[in-house]
Structure 1
């Protein structure tokens, strides 16, 4: 009885499968016009995927060396057209003024919203999928969730400290209830005396600030000369890096910005 001939593999199928795999995992190149999104990409080890950024994307250090082809108000379309990339990363909040100027790239635009920690985690996951760095993205997500849980547990039964965060002094702007920083205050065992105000950064009078009787005034302004004199002894001025990591929601917010808020609140207990 003659042996049954071996079935030969279809070489074309093997080649196609190999090409498909390479295509799936090829390096995706992006332009980032959002400092927060640039930091997220860097946090999942995706810095080598970024070919250009806006002028405000300066962390980590490697991003300073990349071409800067946009600012808050506009885009250098000529410089952008000379680049090779797959997608443009934009923040719905930070980039609202320039999204409409990129209509020729509408099929390459990826627009994200980053207004709170939940959206931050969603965006880390989404960018991990886009750049084929899902495992690293999940590690970053797990780390942030752990830090949130630790903060909540550490201050759960402590007395709430009446707190106000000042983000500007002319006019006097504070953090309201809808801002990410309001959550930061609560995680640190404080209560924002202006959390009942629905806007992110309401303007208030010095008299209203005094009537609020805060125990801690946390300032994102470098000097206190425009704050009420009676509150200056209760005021804590954050460093530039601490300010930056509170105003831009990124993984660093949980390493630098929020811990600074916690230290200020703890110091008045």
Structure 2
């Protein structure tokens, strides 16, 4: 996980904190820490909670507007890694304090919450949030450990076809909820896969976030005999909220619970 902070020059007069947040995961953490009233700017992807709708937007995750940010006079900008590294460097050169947080596992999520709590003076809230999350995750894991484990295929892109490995945050979530990822090892955490490899892996459950419809997925060449398709265990973003699965944020227990419920329903059918 990236946890980086750059210091700005000392101010003569302390300013009220004004946060610009460029990552939806971090934005959700800050909302959970009751910091929404200090957020003055967000990227368009920051869509939860509902209060974020009225906060000015400074572009998209991969295309942040520097001038739009500067107009908001932030005291701290919270950025992620990846394509936000360049804008983060530009802001640092302007003596704007930049905090980079990019959790890529549950443990890193807990660390990120602690870190953000320390920076924003909400240490006790952060501690309580972590305890609540850890208890929720442990409760789901305890139940998931009793399940018959379905083979799961999660699709994040259609063209090219892409899935997740067990090294990714999403892969860890699939496993923790009680499933077996059909692509435990890939070249990267999120990587291209071949249609024939999906077919040969015979997944019991398919979760498709590529915005393809169930009717179109069923029509893919050679996929008709995949167990998930034959038995009706195929889901899209309409049935499984991607923000609960793909974002390393405080709503992860909701995603784990949803996956557990799908796995448990599949297991019941196997016993009947």
Aligned residues: 244
In the alignment, the residues of structure 2 paired with residue 221 and residue 175 of structure 1 have an alpha-carbon distance, to the nearest angstrom, of 13
Q: Which of 135, 139, 155 lines up with 1:150 in the alignment?
A: 139
In the alignment, the residues of structure 1 paired with residue 62 and residue 186 of structure 2 have an alpha-carbon distance, to the nearest angstrom, of 29
Give the TM-score normalised by the residue count of structure 1. 0.82
Q: Which of 53, 66, 72 lines up with 1:83 in the alignment?
A: 72
Are the equivalent residues in 1 in contact too, given 2:75–2:96 (CA < 8 A)?
no
Does 1:53 pair with 2:27? no
Partner deviation per Cα, 1:108-154 (whole Å, 9 max, x = no partner): 01111211111111111111122211121111101110111112211
Task: Return the offset for 1:194.
Answer: 0.6
Partner deviation per Cα, 1:52-92 (whole Å, 9 max, x = no partner): 11222121111111111232343333332232332110011
**More deviation in 141-150 or 107-116?**
107-116
Task: Return the offset for 1:172.
Answer: 1.8
Q: Which of 254, 257, 260 lines up with 2:258 in the alignment?
A: 260
Structure 1 residue runs of 5 or longer lacking an equivalent are: 1-22
User: What residue number does 1:6 align with?
Assistant: none
In the alignment, the residues of structure 1 paired with residue 250 and residue 83 of structure 2 have an alpha-carbon distance, to the nearest angstrom, of 17
Does 1:230 pair with 2:225? yes
> The residue matched to 1:174 in structure 2 has which SS?
strand
Are the equivalent residues in 2 in contact too, given 1:27–1:131 (CA < 8 A)?
no
Partner deviation per Cα, 1:192-249 (whole Å, 9 max, x = no partner): 1111224122222221111112111122234131442223233122427711221221
Cα RMSD, aligned residues only: 2.2
Bigger CA radius of gyration: 1
User: What residue number does 1:109 align with?
Assistant: 98
Are the equivalent residues in 1 in contact too, given 2:144–2:260 (CA < 8 A)?
no
In the alignment, the residues of structure 2 paired with residue 96 and residue 235 of structure 1 have an alpha-carbon distance, to the nearest angstrom, of 37
Q: Which of 116, 122, 125 lines up with 1:136 in the alignment?
A: 125
> The residue matched to 2:172 in structure 1 has which SS?
helix
Structure 1 residues 229 and 99 mapped into 2: Cα distance closer, same or farther (>3 Å)?
farther
Task: Return the offset for 1:29.
Answer: 2.1
In the alignment, the residues of structure 1 paired with residue 83 and residue 48 of structure 2 have an alpha-carbon distance, to the nearest angstrom, of 16
Structure 2 residue runs of 5 or longer lacking an equivalent are: 1-13, 268-272
Are the equivalent residues in 1 in contact too, given 2:79–2:99 (CA < 8 A)?
yes
User: What residue number does 1:43 align with?
Assistant: 32
